[in-house]
């Protein structure tokens, strides 16, 4: 027997469809290793990352907005409580002032601007020089009258107030009809000579 070498070959027959499928797979394998396919893959990954970042930012913005709204609501509630407390305190103070104002029949009325309060009365010291008659008329126009001094304390107050305005001369509501007649206050009451001396 001679030795002959026998070579075998496998022949496989494919249909046209199988051949086309194999060609597509081979082409896809070549494309996946090409540089342009790497860029496509990177672009897809970045696109997914960007979309998830935008979604996360939207969720965070909505959460911050809710937290900000909650904080503003809490601040408003606190301010409303403080307002209610102040209104209640104001009501109490108003009631207290009313009670004090009518205590013992006295009325508490604040003095007009540029007037001084002493006791229950308000006093105005004019900077203008006028005669006694003009001063009396000015007082009447202000719904007032020239001062009546009934006590040493009021006399001291008048003197200190006049001196603090650099004036030692002022008119009072004391007069008489004739040289020998009695000195009377504007309201008709008699003058008490123990308060001060008239020259």
Quickly state the pLDDT bin for 3 (edges 50, 70, 90): low
Residue 173, pLDDT > 80, answer yes
The pTM score is 0.43
56-92 pLDDT, tens per residue? Answer: 887 777 777 778 888 888 899 999 999 999 988 988 8
Taking phi first (over 0 means left), then psi (-120 to 50 degrees means alpha), and beta for anything else, what does residue 197 get? beta
Q: How many Cβ atoms are within 10 Å of 149's Cβ, its own excluded? A: 20
Element of type H or E holding 116: strand 116-118
Domain ranges of the chain: 36-101, 116-185
145-168 pLDDT, tens per residue? Answer: 888 888 888 888 888 887 777 666
Averaged pLDDT, 186-194: 83
The reported pLDDT for the residue numbered 26 is 66
CA atoms of 182 and 176, how far apart (whole Å): 6
Going 157 to 161 to 163 to 164, the CA torsion angle's sign is positive
CATH number for region 116-185: 3.10.100.10
Q: How many Cβ atoms are within 10 Å of 147's Cβ, its own excluded? A: 22
E strands, the chain, where?
Answer: 116-118, 121-123, 174-175, 184-185
Averaged pLDDT, 1-20: 65
């Amino acid at each position: 027997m001679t030795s002959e070498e026998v070579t075998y070959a496998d022949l496989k027959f494919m249909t046209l469809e199988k051949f086309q499928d194999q060609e597509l797979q081979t082409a896809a394998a070549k494309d996946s290793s090409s540089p342009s396919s790497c860029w496509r893959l990177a672009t897809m990954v970045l696109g997914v990352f960007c979309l998830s970042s935008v979604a996360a930012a939207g969720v965070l913005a909505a959460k911050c907005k809710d937290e900000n709204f909650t904080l503003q609501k809490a601040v408003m509630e606190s301010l409303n409580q403080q307002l209610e407390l102040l209104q209640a305190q104001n009501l109490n103070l108003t009631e207290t002032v009313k009670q004090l104002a009518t205590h013992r029949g006295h009325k508490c009325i604040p003095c007009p601007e540029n007037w001084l309060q002493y006791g229950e009365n308000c006093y105005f010291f004019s900077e203008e020089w006028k005669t006694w008659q003009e001063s009396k008329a000015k007082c009447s126009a202000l719904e007032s009258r020239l001062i009546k001094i009934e006590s040493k304390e009021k006399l001291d107050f008048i003197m200190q107030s006049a001196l603090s305005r650099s004036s030692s001369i002022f008119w009072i509501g004391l007069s008489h009809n004739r040289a020998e007649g009695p000195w009377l206050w504007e309201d008709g009451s008699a003058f008490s000579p123990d308060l001060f001396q008239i020259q």
